[in-house]
Each structure stands twice: as structure tokens, then as C-alpha cells.
Structure 1
Amino acid sequence: MPKQRKKSELPSKICQVCGRPFVWRKKWAKDWETVKFCSQRCREAK
């Protein structure tokens, strides 16, 4: 079974649109390096 991490241990980034921090999500595992926005709303507002 995979080792679970605390939310505070996950990598985080700052959204380029709203400036808020957001943390890693499993669905972004393959392309975490290219993730720039925290949500679809911010992606559309770029």
C-alpha cells in the first residue's frame, strides 16, 4: 500500500492569475511541471 502524506508535505505552487497557493493533486501527477493555474476559472481568465 502506498505511503500516505500529510497535506502540508505535498508540493505547492502559486497560481499565475489569482496569486493563491495550491497543492499537488493526484490528477496532476503526470504533468505537475506544466500546471500553472489553480482552477478552470483561472485558466479561462488568463
Structure 2
Amino acid sequence: MKGIKKQDLPEKNCVVCGRPFTWRKKWEKVWDEVKYCSEKCRRTK
């Protein structure tokens, strides 16, 4: 993902709140499994 502009990063919608969130470096290896935009939404399931 090096050299990619922020606007070109992959994006998903949170399954709880429906807000879009973009790819983060810490999710690089688990991006397919990420469902929630934040810890709060993950706890709310």
C-alpha cells in the first residue's frame, strides 16, 4: 500500500453504524475480516 494517496485507499461501511471507514496500516493483514469502524461499534454489535 506504499505510495497510495489517502483518497485512493480501500473503504468499507461499518456494520453497526453504517459510516464509511478507510484502510489503516494496522489492518493490513486482516482487512478482509475488519467489520467495525471503532472499538465502540465492535462492543455494541
TM-score (norm 1): 0.90
Q: Where does residue 26 of structure 2 map in the other structure?
A: 27
The whole-number CA distance in structure 1 between the counterparts of 2:14 and 2:42 is 10
Stretches of structure 1 lacking an aligned partner (at least 5 in a row) = none
- Structure number with greater Rg is 1
Q: Where does residue 9 of structure 1 map in the other structure?
A: 8
C-alpha deviation, 1:29, in angstroms: 0.3
Give the percent of matched residue pairs that are identical in Structure 1 and Structure 2.
Answer: 60
Say what the alpha-carbon RMSD is for the aligned residues.
1.3
C-alpha deviation, 1:6, in angstroms: 1.1
Q: Where does residue 43 of structure 2 map in the other structure?
A: 44
4+ aligned runs moved over 4 Å, structure 1? none
The whole-number CA distance in structure 2 between the counterparts of 1:11 and 1:43 is 20
